[in-house]
Amino acid sequence: VIRREADKHDVRVYLVGGMVRDLILGLENNDLDFMVEGNIKYYLRALSRTFEENYTYNDKFKTGRIRLNSGYNLDFAVARSEVYTSPGALPEVETGEIVEDLFRRDFTVNALAIGVDSQNWGTLIDFFGGIHDIEHKKLRVLHRFSFLDDPTRIIRGLRLALRLGFSFQDKTNLLMKEALKFGNFKRISKPRIIKEFSLLFSKKMDRRITGLLKQFPIFHLLDLDPRVDESKFSIIKRAECILDYFRQKNYNIKEWLIRMVVLLDGVEEKKLANWGLNRGEREILTFPSVIDTIIDKLRTNSTPLKLKKLLEGFTLEQILLLLIYTEGKERKQVYKYINYLSKVDLKINGHDLIELGLKPGPVIKEVLDKVWEAKVDNGLKTRE
């Protein structure tokens, strides 16, 4: 369909980026990025009609998307040929739009394209040695200003290295370190950086992470300089165990925030001002500052009702952090809350009690608490 409609509308279409890389590596990927030379809007409309699926189109950026029922996401963009300000960054090849577009990409392994219209059908475009780098399992930038142009590529690089099991080519390795050491990150948008961090930390971490973070102190991009060494790995392992356990129980967890907290030992509120996070997310990142107080309370709050009152205001991520940072008896209390107490709710509420003749006031809450306690008591006995 992609090919037929391209021919009909006389546009050049290329499959580009990660999907080409993953095709060559034999990895699964549901996101197909296409670069279109020609009238993208008509092309999209025609595709959408033939696929019988809706499409979205952004006229300003000339990008569009079709989500297929089969689970594939098709993204379309016109070729981007930005001019780089540094003369050394300009390509020395005679370029068509596609080459300029590919030159703007992060790593050579992502700068491959395959023609999918009849004129270019099956033509692999590899101007920057991406195939060679895939064969040698190397991540290499396209020019030496790449990380200064866009430092988020450093975080993308780490994500790619972990996902593919690739390492950085020597020069790229050096450029990353230099950028992290000397780069000025004041002007880059923090939310963009956070977006990349959230993707990096959305996947389970293994032993490689501490080594990578030590070599490439990417938290500098957020103006932070935590100590990340091998000793961190025990807490990471514990966090991963807890995340595994709750993931299997189908809890919907913002895992990346938990990994950020563990690696950073929390973040000070004042640092978070322009990260573009909502209040809940900020409260998770700053949570370690109050954990000790909560642990103290866990020691003394022995009844189920007190435990519930202490923990019910916290988000799931905060509860999981408590599990990560507590031991022994306190940890057991938190497990008891999340696995059992938090699920006990009453079928009656204050309105029902008023209808039964109780006067509105504090007594309502007291009665509801008593009923809740009785229900828990009963439940605990049955469980025992």
C-beta closer to ligand ATP: residue 29 or 95: 29
Number of residues that bind ligand ATP (CB under 6 A): 13
Q: How far is the CB of 18 from ligand ATP (least distance, A)?
A: 2
Q: How far is the CB of 124 from ligand ATP (least distance, A)?
A: 15
Q: How far is the CB of 110 from ligand ATP (least distance, A)?
A: 3
C-beta closer to ligand ATP: residue 82 or 312: 82
Interface with ligand ATP, residue 153, by CB under 6 A: yes
Alpha-carbon distance of 382 to 376, in angstroms, equals 10
Displacement of CA 90 from its chain's centroid (Å): 32
Among 288, 344, 278, 333, which residue's Cα sits nearest to residue 311?
A: 333
Q: How far is the CB of 228 from ligand ATP (least distance, A)?
A: 23
Interface with ligand ATP, residue 151, by CB under 6 A: no
Residue 136 has phi, psi (to 5 degrees) of -95, 10
C-beta closer to ligand ATP: residue 106 or 283: 106
Interface with ligand ATP, residue 140, by CB under 6 A: no
65 strand-pairing partners: 56, 75
> Looking only at residues 25 through 44 of this chain, which bind ligand ATP when binding is defined by CB under 6 A?
29, 31, 33
Cα torsion angle, 347, 351, 357, 358, sign: positive
Alpha-carbon distance of 116 to 347, in angstroms, equals 60
C-beta closer to ligand ATP: residue 18 or 266: 18
Displacement of CA 259 from its chain's centroid (Å): 11
User: Contact at 8 Å (CB) between 235 and 249?
Assistant: no
User: Contact at 8 Å (CB) between 220 and 180?
Assistant: yes
Q: How far is the CB of 139 from ligand ATP (least distance, A)?
A: 11
Q: How far is the CB of 158 from ligand ATP (least distance, A)?
A: 12
Interface with ligand ATP, residue 198, by CB under 6 A: no
What is the DSSP code string of 143-192? Answer: STTHHHH-THHHHHHHHHHHHHT-EE-HHHHHHHHHHHHH---SSS-HHH
Task: With H, G, I as helix, E, B as strand and everything else as coil, classify residue 125.
Answer: strand
Contact track, ligand ATP, 100-129, x by CB under 6 A: ----xxx---x-------------------
Q: How far is the CB of 156 from ligand ATP (least distance, A)?
A: 6
- Among 17, 64, 151, 157, interactor with ligand ATP by CB under 6 A: 17
- Of the chain, the end-to-end C-alpha distance in Å amounts to 62
Residues of this chain that bind ligand ATP (CB under 6 A): 17-18, 29, 31, 33, 104-106, 110, 150, 152-153, 156
